[in-house]
Amino acid sequence: MEVLIGAGVLAATIRLATPVALAALGGVVTERSGVVNIALEGCMLVGAFFGVFAADKTGSLPAALAVAILAGLALAAMHAVAAITFRADQIVSGMALNILALGLTSYLDYQLYSSTGTPPTIPLVPNVHLGFLEKVPVLGGAVGDQSAIVWVTLAIVVFLQLFLFRTVPGLRLRSVGEHPRAADTLGIDVRRTRYWAVLASGALAALGGVYLSLSVAGSFSDNMTNGKGFIGLAAMIFGRWTPLGALGAALVFGYGDALSVSLQGVEVAGFVFPVQLLSTIPYLLTILAVAGFVGRSRMPAADGQPYESEGH
């Protein structure tokens, strides 16, 4: 029982779900506006690296977070220029930027920190201790000592859910993703809306990246995101392009991830699951979710389609 729903597993679930959720939220925002951004993986990675880099150089946590998010914004801006202004293939542009992010961060990491590793003294994102929960079984252990970014993520989920479905800018953003021509004829600036959405997705993914490096690991290592941005996109689909759904899907994936750790060495009727098999759980879940839900949930009608305004 303990390995399935114990405080340890649940705490790990939340920890592992958070970066996936942030990437998924980024995906929701950008795809609701009609731009596919698979460079979210790269945005996470640069966020993770430049957060550590800035923390090392400035010794200031706010500066580190700001630089991490700026790095994500910069990468997303390149995607926006390619995808929106130049109407390039969004998958190709996203993939190219992912390769750029991987190469850039690995190179800089090697140049700067290969001999020593990233410094152990950098400021990290603090955890939030909920003292009053200490005595509560399971729940206290699960949420009583999580990173501040976890709570920020939760706030972002609520904010985005309300923003997309209960505000005027949210309505406009959705209309741009569904029928850009209609939005255009009503005086809504399709390109500007999409730029903002892509940039926001980059910032959200970068926050997910910096969470990995400055909260979970306390350091940077090569390709440390390891596909979490892509799993985030799967969570977005699984969650039907809504922030709440994306959070729920991220928690499912996080739970799969947590299980793959907590089930290690556990014996069931004399059989021990091989580690290699267990570590495929989150990826199997991803495939199942995408295969099972991609057809059933409806994506924004203009998702991934460049918009060319008439005339000029």
Contact 72, 66 (CB under 8 A): no
Site membership for another protein, residue 186 (CB under 8 A): yes
Q: Residues of 17-28 as b/e, b for ≥16 C-beta within 10 angstroms?
A: bbbbbbbbbbbb
Site membership for another protein, residue 295 (CB under 8 A): no
Select 105 or 193, whichever has its Cβ closest to another protein: 193
* Cβ-based neighbour number of residue 239 at 10 Å: 26
- 186-188-191-194 Cα dihedral, nearest 10 degrees: -120
Question: Residue 292 CB, nearest distance to another protein (Å)?
Answer: 21
Q: Which of 85, 185, 279, 280 forms a contact with another protein (CB under 8 A)?
A: 185
Site membership for another protein, residue 128 (CB under 8 A): no
Indicate the pairing of strand 145-147 with strand 267-268.
Answer: unpaired
Stretch touching another protein by CB under 8 A, among 24-32, 63-71, 131-139, 176-184 = 176-184
Site membership for another protein, residue 167 (CB under 8 A): yes
Site membership for another protein, residue 169 (CB under 8 A): yes
Q: Which of 114, 120, 166, 270 forms a contact with another protein (CB under 8 A)?
A: 166
Stretch touching another protein by CB under 8 A, among 52-60, 81-89, 122-130, 163-171 = 163-171
Element (H, E) at 76: helix 61-80
Whole-angstrom distance, CA of residue 276 vs CA of residue 260:
9
The tokens for 58 are 């400035």
Site membership for another protein, residue 135 (CB under 8 A): no
Site membership for another protein, residue 56 (CB under 8 A): no
Amino acid at residue number 100: L
Residues within the interface to another protein (CB under 8 A): 166-172, 174-175, 178-179, 181-188, 298, 301, 310-312
